[in-house]
Amino acid sequence: MRGGLWRRILAPAVAGVLAAGCSFEGLNSLSLPGTVGTGPDAHVYHVELENVGTLESNSPVLLNDVVVGAVGRMRIDGWHARVDVSVRPDVVVPANAVATVGQTSLLGSMHLALDPPAGARPEGVLPPGSTIRLDASSTYPSTEQTLASLSALINGGGLGQIGEVLGNAEAALRGRGDQVRDVLTRLNDIAGVLESQQADVVESLEQLGRLSGDLAAQQDSLTRALQAVPPALEVLIRQRPRITTALQKLGELSRTATGLIHDTHTELVTNLQNLEPVLRALADVGPELDRVLAYLPTYPLSQDIIDRGVRGDYMNLFAVIDLTVPRLKRSALLGTRFGQPRTPLIPAPGDPWHLAYTYDPLGVPVVPVPDPMADPTGSDDEPAAQPAVPDEAVAATDTGIPAYDGAILPVQPPIFSMSAAGPSAPLFAGPYPHDRGGG
């Protein structure tokens, strides 16, 4: 009975010991003494790694090159490794931390670094229990990988031909030291020029990039244009004799024009110099040209008068335009050598105001009394004096008295009297009285 009892007691114990022995993964699966951040209050994070290399549990965890924790359990999760990391509770892991597996020494010791990206400042706080994904983790090449790559480069990468290349270069440069030195000097100058024009070069490259983008956007149009080029070239080939003749004639025209310009150089320069005052005067009146041009289509009324005074599509206008030479001299020709501001305005017969015009009596000379003529009848009576009529030619003569430029009173046509005038009676040239019976 006692043996059966002991067997029933020892069987479960042996089974538990065997099960525990099967799940034991070595000493690294246990927290070793002296490791950092493995206490009960440590913060645990999870890291996904594509390649852990020789990283093992209890490997140090670094933050800013300071050991702040240790690597815990590692397991496979699909096609990548999932590593648990424990960190001291007083350590703040930034939210933008990147997990990097690196080699602590050449002997193969590995570590896991939790640092911000290169050149970036720490941001935020990564809460405990968070997972750093694959896109935020990486693994540095190990010493074995570096040596293997170097071996491949030396053995099969063409490194053995370096000696041959150097020998050929030495043979090519032998005896050409001055030329090589000059080339290097020129290259240095070119590099300096390019460095000073760096902003322009960058701008040119950006412009080329934009041009390439525009050309890519117009690819269909360019394709059609290139397809249309061969027919256009055929037309040019057929018209080649005419094009050649036209170019020859153009050369003759160029030679003729060159000779003409050379012969008339002095006159051309003189004409341009004489044209300068005209252009300057035109530039001076430039601000007034817009008002003049706006006034021309509505002459003689301004647009403002039309808008305010004309109530309809049209209006009647009766005007008398005086284009006689005296009027032009007193108005349009002023400022030129033909202008005369004090030219007398003498109306011509038929003008509306001809009958209302009279001469300035101050400008009419006194005509002497004519000599008595013999009476053919034999009478002793003196003949009656003939009335003196002012003549336009006499009135226009220069008498030394300034011409009258005031207002002219309207009068009726003169009615000449046949009464005798005394020897000292002056001539009367108006104004005449407004009586209908004459005087």
Q: What is the pLDDT of residue 401?
A: 45
CA triplet 394, 400, 401: central angle to 5 degrees? 85
403 vs 335, more confident: 335
Residue 132: which pLDDT band, with cuts at 50, 70 and 90? Answer: very high
List, for residues 255-281, the tens digit of each pLDDT value: 999 988 888 888 988 999 999 998 888
Is residue 130 within 8 Å of residue 45, measured between CB atoms?
yes
Q: Across the chain, how many H-helices and E-strands are there?
A: 12, 8
Report how far residue 111's alpha carbon sits from residue 58's, in angstroms, rounded to the nearest whole number.
9
* Percent of the chain topping pLDDT 70: 72
Domain ranges for the chain: 35-141, 180-238, 320-368+391-397
Is residue 369 within 8 Å of residue 423, measured between CB atoms?
yes
Comparing CA positions, the residue from 35, 76, 31, 28 lying closest to residue 52 is 76
pLDDT(206) > 90: yes
List, for residues 139-157, the tens digit of each pLDDT value: 888 777 787 777 777 776 6
List, for residues 106-130, the tens digit of each pLDDT value: 777 888 999 999 888 999 999 999 9
pTM over 0.95: no
